[in-house]
Amino acid sequence: MLFAPDPDRHAGGNKLEPVVFIVNSDEATRTWIESTVVSVGLHAVSFGTAEELLSRFDPDTAACVILDVILADASGLEVQNSLARAGASIMFLTREHCISSCVKALKAGAVDFLTMPCDAKQFVCALRDAVGEAVSTWRQREQSDELRVKYERLTAREREIFVLVCSGLLNKQVAQQLAISEITVQIHRGRVMKKMRTRSFAALVRMADALQVSPRPVARRRVTYEEVGSTLPVGNAASACPATASSISRLKPDLACTAMP
């Protein structure tokens, strides 16, 4: 058995058992592929058409799909595009010795492109790479989902502080931007670390990068001419504060200065 059982097969609450899906219109070829896959300790499911595969495919599975270029009801390259979006790893095993098809398949992300007749050792080597990619993709998706669940558990204020501190701001700067005390920032920051289950600030920053969250720009409003004028002393503004009055007189109502809300 070339594929040892994965110790993390139950990681994330789901069963991590790679499945190799085989789609080939030729029964003899399909049988040979399936028997070879099973001989190395993997679970294989074979189909004669793309429609059968797509009706049974589970995107939550660590899936490797072995396609032929020409299928009974579809183009293998078209099926590849559909499955790649679902996170499956793809390899081709075909009797079509077509360089352009090979190039298209590899550019679209196929792990390998083999032609029949194929040596069993060469096939198993390519299969190992394809299954490894399928497992890696599955784990990344599981980790991303778990991270998103943790983030969703944060309160609105905790999310604000999470994003701001990960953007490089100091606690004092975060406090000024949110108009709260620095100790309040420290308390929320501690809760964020606890809920995100990390003791490392560097790890917290990596989580923010993985979540692709960034601080929202602080909203600003325009101060009108009348608002500025209302701050002058009552009476003759020009005589009471000539410097300010002369500055205000140069302002236009639609080009007023900006201020924090």
Q: Is the separation of the CB atoms in 64 and 19 below 8 Å?
A: yes
**Global pTM value:** 0.59
**What digits encode the pLDDT tens for the residues 144-164?**
888 888 999 999 999 999 999
Q: Return the higher-pLDDT residue of 205 and 255.
A: 205
Q: How far is CA 235 from the centre of its chain?
A: 62
pLDDT of residue 53 exceeding 60, the answer is yes
DSSP letter string, 81-123: HHHHHTT-EEEEEES---HHHHHHHHHTT-SEEEESS--HHHH
The pLDDT of residue 254: 45
Residue 9, pLDDT score: 44
Task: Extract the tokens encoding 236.
Answer: 């003759």
Work out the percent of the chain whose per-residue pLDDT is above 90.
45
> Can you give the pLDDT at residue 224?
53
One-letter identity of residue 90: I
How confident is residue 83, by pLDDT bands cut at 50, 70 and 90? confident
H/E segment holding residue 20: strand 19-23
Residue 253 gets which letter from DSSP? G
44 secondary structure, DSSP code: E
What are the start-end ranges of the E strands in 176-226? 221-222
Give the three-state DSSP class for 149.
Answer: helix
Given a contact cutoff of 8 angstroms between Cβ atoms, the answer to whether 255 and 222 are in contact is no
Question: Is 70 exceeded by the pLDDT of residue 177?
Answer: yes
Instruction: Categorize the per-residue pLDDT at 210 as very low, low, confident or very high, splitting at 50, 70 and 90.
Output: confident
Picking from 251, 245, 260, the residue whose alpha carbon sits closest to that of residue 224 is 251
- C-alpha 85 chain-centroid distance: 12
pLDDT one-digit tens code per residue, 211-241? 888 766 544 445 455 544 544 455 544 444 4
Q: What is the pLDDT of residue 15?
A: 53
* 258, β-bridge pairs: 222
Q: What pLDDT is attached to residue 175?
A: 92
pLDDT band at 57 (very low <50, low <70, confident <90, very high): confident
12 pLDDT higher than 80: no
CB proximity list for 257: less than 8 A, separation 6 or greater: 222, 223, 228, 251
Domains of the chain: 11-149 (3.40.50.2300), 153-211 (1.10.10.10), 221-259 (no CATH)
Amino acid at 222: R
Question: In this predicted structure, what is the pLDDT of residue 255?
Answer: 42
Mean pLDDT of the chain: 80
